[in-house]
A and B are shown apart, each in its own frame.
Chain A
């Protein structure tokens, strides 16, 4: 309700100018993107660079279009591994953070360890995981979960702790129990931190799943990238990369939209004026 009310009060100015304003806002972006690809295409054509070194954008798009069905099929494997791993990491991370905030001894003993473990580049153990868990989805899921878990845990604990002391005191004074304090005070405070962690880990979970596939797999975009790069099929390599770029952009956009919906009340959203985060 409040969301629509806030949006409503801001909307008229935007709606009045309508399409003209939209064009004025976005034309530099479109110009930038178009210029980028035109310069790329021209450079390749003018310097006569062979397609096995750098293909032209038009050639990549052409290849991308013909390969799209098979690429999408491979993508389902990558997406499945990444999203299952992400969900596992997210669930355990949030549960762990809540436990740490409830029991101080857990936080004091494990939180510093988690902060350190967070710094390990887990992709390095991708080869070991495929030795342990085989060629199927499992090693990719575990890798994505490991990559997600620690940033989510650390950020969630920080967020749950970041409540205003006065608000906490107020909750105590009206006799709120632990669950109420957690659900109504700490959890909303943790959400912005959680989204900050998600923005990094969503990206890294896909990277983790693809790296796992790069190593040992029968399917998946990472597998396609490995095969095409070994065979020096640069156009196919670029078109697989293009798919990952599109996926990455989609993820960023979707996260931003969800974030704006969920924490519309947070000051970072209010001051950004609904622009990009």
Chain B
């Protein structure tokens, strides 16, 4: 019961804020008579969103250009993002471990990697589309390019910043290099890795969308571009809402996996109390 109330306490203010914003928006659109192609009201956008979602899954036929369902577009974008993220993670982790273990690898690969990282995805997206076509492959490549670097950097940092005392303990127990790697460096790198994954998830959606804006025949980016050019603004909003929902769900999934894997880590153990409860306890203490 008390837990329920506390949850309500946390959720109620943002919900009220969102509701308030929607009401103001709706009222403004109605009162000022703003045309629907310029700025649709939330209710009109919601209507389109539901219509598109219930249209569901139509296989695309590229000849006639009939609109595919929103779910199909979402699926394509998700596929591109996830394949790219998987490739980017694999490359990032492999290089990261290599570079953390061998100093020469770090020094020689790092500049090349950071040059690749510094390449804005908009510059490589057209190149990849010319190379790999207009379907999933070029977007996955863009996503991989955008995501590998944060993962690489965090894996290196995580494997390097180990507690000197733990390292000494391992050495005093005559641990081999491989044992230090598996039982000390890798566990230490995991929290850093998950932090990078959370960034990687949002970068992967950005990468997939930019790839689709540049050249595609399905996917949310494609659907949003077409709708914007044809002034079907309610559809633009529906696409953006679905994209946002995907971002939120993916980030949440990473967070859930993180709490499962890192249950032993201090950041998770303190998080169980919750920052708000901790702040409340702190205030109570300071008042006493």
Question: Which residues from chain A sit less than 8 Å from chain B, CB to CB?
Answer: 25-26, 28-29, 31-33, 35-36, 53, 105, 108-113, 116-121, 123-128, 130-132, 165, 169, 172, 200, 203-204, 206-207, 210-211, 214-215, 221-222, 225-226, 229, 232, 234, 237-238, 240-241, 244-245, 247-249, 251-252, 271, 276
Contact = CB atoms under 8 A, between A and B. Distances in A.
B123 interface: yes
B231 interface: yes
Nearest to A128: B228
A198 B13 CA distance: 29
B4 interface: no
B240 A124 contact: yes
B48 interface: no
A131 B39 CA distance: 11
7 tightest CB-CB pairs across the interface, nearest first? Answer: A248-B118, A32-B108, A229-B126, A28-B107, A119-B247, A127-B228, A241-B123
Interface in B211-252: 213-214, 220-221, 224-225, 228-229, 231, 233, 236, 239-240, 243-244, 247-248, 251
Interface of B: 10, 13-14, 16-18, 38, 104, 107-112, 114-115, 117-124, 126-127, 129-131, 161, 199, 202, 205-206, 209-210, 213-214, 220-221, 224-225, 228-229, 231, 233, 236, 239-240, 243-244, 247-248, 251, 282, 286
24 contacts: A26-B107, A29-B107, A29-B110, A32-B107, A33-B111, A33-B112, A109-B16, A110-B17, A112-B10, A119-B251, A121-B205, A124-B213, A127-B224, A128-B228, A165-B286, A207-B121, A215-B213, A229-B214, A234-B127, A237-B126, A248-B118, A248-B120, A251-B118, A271-B161
Contacts of B10: 108, 112
B120 A206 contact: yes
B243 A29 contact: no
Contacts of A241: 119, 123-124, 127
Given A32-B108, A32-B111, A123 B251 contact: no
B114 A232 contact: no
B243 A124 contact: yes
A106 to B, nearest CB: 9
B101 to A, nearest CB: 15
B240 to A, nearest CB: 6
Chain A facing B: main interface SS: helix
Contact of A131 (B122, B127, B231, B243): B231
Contacts of B251: 119
